Amino acid sequence: MTQRLDRLQRAFYKARRFAAVAAAVVGLTAQAEVVGGVQLPDGSQRVGENRYRAPQDFEETVKYYRAVYSVGSYPRRSIVNQPGVKAVHISNPSGRNFAGLNIYEANDEVRIYIVPLESAAKPKRAPAKPAKK
């Protein structure tokens, strides 16, 4: 019995094993889909080009993006101020991969729209050929 109390190694071993298991569980649950540089909540469904349906309600989705994209680095502003419609825009100041994203709720459904960069949003046109005479 005194040998168990004198050994601290056993307690540290359990703590390390617990930390490894906890890290593995967090790693498995933290996998999220990334589309166009934007991390989407688990369970999001594509409903159109750059449009996704969020599985949570509006407040939970905004809370998720508050954890993923910090408020200090990614400014937010309210878009719509109408009864029954909530919307917020999250800007991407780095301008890489996407310009921002809109989170909005209408008709009891939460949607996420990835705002593409201006260069990606405009289709490239072939240069006009001069008419032959």
* 91 and 105 co-located in one domain: yes
- Residue 103 is part of a domain; what is its CATH number? 3.30.160
Q: Is residue 11 situated within a structural domain? A: yes
Question: What pLDDT band is residue 27 in, cutting at 50, 70 and 90?
Answer: very low
Structure tokens at 33: 């889909």
Quote the domain boundaries for residue 59: 33-118
Q: Is residue 130 situated within a structural domain? A: no
Contact 34, 40 (CB under 8 A): yes
Q: What is the pLDDT of residues 60-100, one digit of tens each?
A: 999 999 999 999 999 999 998 788 889 999 999 988 899 99
* 11 and 44 co-located in one domain: no
* 41 and 87 co-located in one domain: yes
What's the number of domains the chain is made of?
2
* 14 and 43 co-located in one domain: no
Share of the chain above pLDDT 90, in %: 49
Q: Is residue 90 situated within a structural domain? A: yes
pLDDT at residue 131 tops 80: no
Running DSSP on this structure, what letter comes out for residue 96?
Answer: S
pTM, two decimal places: 0.65
* 12 and 44 co-located in one domain: no
* 39 and 89 co-located in one domain: yes
Q: Is residue 123 situated within a structural domain? A: no
Q: Is residue 64 situated within a structural domain? A: yes
DSSP string, 45-87: EEEETTEEE-SS-HHHHHHHHHHHS-TTTS-EEEEEEETTEEE
